[in-house]
Amino acid sequence: MAFDLSWMAWTWHTAVFFIVIACLIAAMGVWEYVSPGGGPRHGVLGLNTTRGDRLFISLLGSAYIHLAWLALASGPLWWATVLCLGYAVLVFRFV
């Protein structure tokens, strides 16, 4: 039986987006395997976070940064993505 996914209207852009997220989650799994315990920490937000929390905060914040860029800025969206990478580094370092 052919598995028809045309109703999901895939594009390569959205496929890459989800593949990157899947790879990030897989990488977190590998990280946890190599260094178990989740790296708990009391960060600058006053919260106890693990690596998973930090990934979630990074992804959610990145979504908002991209939306804010689309609403307020006029440059290419890639710049927002670069900004998000910097934001994610800060989150993983300090939150």
Interaction site with another protein (CB under 8 A): 6-11, 13-14, 17-18, 46-48, 56, 60, 63-64, 67, 70-71, 77
- Shortest separation between residue 66's beta carbon and another protein, angstroms: 8
- Shortest separation between residue 95's beta carbon and another protein, angstroms: 11
Residue closer to another protein, measured from CB, 14 or 35:
14
Type and span of the H or E element at 63 = helix 51-72
Please report the beta strands in 11-89, taking only residues with DSSP state E, as ranges in sequence order.
41-42, 48-49
- Shortest separation between residue 26's beta carbon and another protein, angstroms: 15
- Rounded CA separation 88/90 (Å): 5
